[in-house]
Amino acid sequence: MIKIEAIVREEKLEDIKEALDRVEVKGVTISQVMGCGKQKGYKEFVRGTEIAITMLPKIKIEIIVSSEEWERKTIKAIQEAAYTGAPGDGKIFSYNLRSVMRVRTKEIGTSAIN
């Protein structure tokens, strides 16, 4: 099993959800997060004072898949939907996952995510 995490622009969330739906990825957790990468945020003037905004709002998407085939399909769907070509498009991470349990049924492993 593999856990995929993507940190992406807020405005790309609906595009990503549609792309995941097209490849039939169903179980998704979405969180609002803050962070910065190479772009280091931006500067803004508030009441005449320059303020550096270094932590930008982002969306974190977490998905558990059962195989490397699903990992490739899922990552490709997210990358294509999140892409703008500008700094700040985000990152996608994947991890090997040791165990998963469905709390209600006590199923363990891939049966817990299908």
Q: Tell me: the pLDDT tens digits for 14-50?
A: 999 999 999 999 899 999 999 887 777 777 888 888 8
* CA–CA separation, 70 and 67 (whole Å): 5
pLDDT (0 to 100) of residue 35: 87
Average pLDDT over residues 72-96: 96
Q: Report the chain's mean pLDDT, rounded to a whole number.
A: 93
Read off the CATH number of the domain in which 43 is found: 3.30.70.120
For 51, the domain range is 2-112
* CA–CA separation, 69 and 84 (whole Å): 25
- Number of separate domains in the chain: 1
Q: What is the pTM of this model?
A: 0.87
DSSP code of residue 10: G
